[in-house]
Amino acid sequence: MANLEDVTILLVEDDPGHAQLIEKNLRRAGITNTIVKLDDGQKCVDFLFKKGEYSGDDHRPPFLILLDLNLPVLLGYQVLEAIKGDARTKAIPVVILTTTDNPQEISRCYELGCNAYMTKPVDYEQFSEAIRKLALFLAIAKVSEKKP
């Protein structure tokens, strides 16, 4: 198994401010993995399945996908469906990270196969704290991965 520090986190977020804040708070919490940032759903699908501008790339699948729902080109739901509907990518954990807190939307994401759903708080401090909690979760997941 590869060193978990060498694996990639894929962040799919169309708001550059949110993407920067998410990365900044993951870094503050000690996450040192490479973070690939994409700003629309189609780019995510192309990246994962090595199509379009990613055709011929030799990158490995990401360790984790942080996925917004409100994306241009392909919505997060469509991306989630593509990920969980393909044998090559269905095992990749997907955390929905979005402003939508509608219970029906949350249920829909779990039905489509997301592994966790986090609502992005509007308040800066609350948003930062939510991302730090996500980083703690990732750190715990990394520890459990290292055990035989």
Angle at 39 between CA 96 and CA 75, to 5 degrees: 55
Give 103 or 143, the one with higher predicted confidence: 103
3-state percent helix, strand, coil for the chain, nearest multiple of 5: 45, 15, 35
Closest-CA residue to 48 (of 84, 73, 23) = 84
pTM of the model: 0.86
10 Å CB burial of residue 64 (0-12, 13-18, 19+) is buried
Q: What is the pLDDT of residue 141?
A: 59
Mean predicted lDDT score pLDDT of the chain: 86
**Mean pLDDT across the stretch 99-127?**
89
Q: Give CA–CA dist 4/68, Å, rounded.
A: 24
* Superfamily designation of domain 4-143: Response regulator (3.40.50.2300)
For the chain, give the percent of residues with pLDDT over 70. 89
